[in-house]
Amino acid sequence: MMKSFLRATVAASLVTAGAAGAWAGEIKVGSVAGVTGPIAELVVPIVAGRNLAVKHVNEQGGLLDGDTMKMALVDSQCDPKAGVDAGNKVVNVEQVVAIVGASCSGATNGMVQSVTIPAGVVALSDSATAPSISELKDNDLVFRVAPSDAYQGAALAKLAIDAGFKTLAVTYSNDDYNAGIAEVFAKTYQELGGTLAGNQMHEPNKASYRSELATLARGGAEALAIFAYYGGSGITIIRNSLENDLFGKFMAADGMFDASVLEQIGADTLRGNIFITQSASDYGDSSYKAFADAFTAAGYDPVSPYAAHGYDAAFLIALAIEKAGAADRGKISAALRAVAGPPGTVIRPGEWAKAKAVLAGGGDVNYEGASGNVDFDSNGDVSGIYSVNTVGDDGKWSTKLIE
């Protein structure tokens, strides 16, 4: 009787599997992110954006013959060494076909140079922005949907000039991201006619920066440009500046954009005294609106830095796998370029079933991202849109696109 029961159970399982659609499996993609570290709060909505894209893929037919797309989340801690460890885990242990991430430039540089490039695995970052990434000899394996800070540094410099700051001091943290954008900012600011009263590197995570700031303040700068992570040194630098009456006005890039800056320093104190740029989206564009509606319904703020980029990166990797016709590491790079730009049927966030049908019919697709144009240049980079964030009347960040 037991043998009969087992035969019946197996037979029933086979029938069920056949009805569900032919032994659908699982395809893993690495999700490397700074889950802990100096921007941990910023990473939460970025990972949520990635996961929303995966949800849309799996709800609308999955990958290839109905395979489930699974993200293998590993913490890169916004640190180069941890980035290498995270890369080794997803590439060699999880055996992923491609990677979304890492979050930070240092972790990305460490991971791709030590692990993913030698292994022939594509890495598509949604928030690593250091100009140095564009210069890698990467065999066309490193891509970004976040624009290089070669653009953001220049945008912030122009913003400083337009705001009337003729003399600035600059302080930047000793890491790939902050050093890279500070260099672009300083160069562009001076080319536009600004004067640097001081330009110093600092080490992150110190208890106080009073002595460094006192030195910078001697040059008579009208404001301080801070290139740091809010959770590393940024908030401490602002607090030290204000407490010691050294600087009262601040410029910063997106590593400083977080609610904790207002919570710890005070919205009233910073209103009219701080300007922070960040990579943004065209909020009136239909692709962004499609993402924003879905992301809001999932309980997240679509304006969160790099959340839209997180969605785009994961969706693009899914499109590349589908275009390649197999979970084959060696085919992802060419397929990624093919689906990211013209020619082809325009695909927007949430339109996985439409994309799958076009590709199945032998057609081409052109993904128009929530974060904007994702057409890759020869370095695997994209152009970008930036916003400036100031303190609004409600005590929260107020965001406006930079013209």
Instruction: Report pTM.
Output: 0.89
Q: Name the CATH architecture for the domain at 26-148+284-385.
A: 3-Layer(aba) Sandwich (3.40)
- Going residue by residue through the chain, which has 403 residues, state the pLDDT in tens, using 9 for 90 and above: 333 333 333 333 333 232 223 346 999 999 999 999 999 999 999 999 999 999 999 999 999 999 999 999 999 999 999 999 999 999 999 999 999 999 999 999 999 999 999 999 999 999 999 999 999 999 999 999 999 999 999 999 999 999 999 999 999 999 999 999 999 999 999 999 999 999 999 999 999 999 999 999 999 999 999 999 999 999 999 999 999 999 999 999 999 999 999 999 999 999 999 999 999 999 999 999 999 999 999 999 999 999 999 999 999 999 999 999 999 999 999 999 999 999 999 999 999 999 999 999 999 999 999 999 999 999 999 988 899 999 999 999 999 998 7
**CA end-to-end span of the chain, whole Å?**
77
Q: Is 357 helix (H, G, I), strand (E, B) or coil?
A: helix
**Other Cβ atoms closer than 10 A to 297:** 9
Which DSSP string corresponds to 5-54? Answer: HHHHHHHHHHHHHHHHTS---EEEEEEEE-SSSTTHHHHHHHHHHHHHHH
Provide CATH code, domain 150-278+386-401. 3.40.50.2300
Integer Rg of the chain from CA: 23
Domains 26-148+284-385 and 150-278+386-401 share a fold: yes
Contact 208, 164 (CB under 8 A): no
Residue spans per domain, the chain: 26-148+284-385, 150-278+386-401
- In single-letter form, the type of residue at position 246 comes to L
The CA distance from 118 to 323, in Å, is: 24
Which DSSP string corresponds to 106-128? Answer: HHHHHHIIIIIHHHT--EEESS-
Element (H, E) at 72: strand 68-75
Token pair 């109905």 is found at 66
> Closest by alpha carbon to 269, among 299, 241, 229?
241
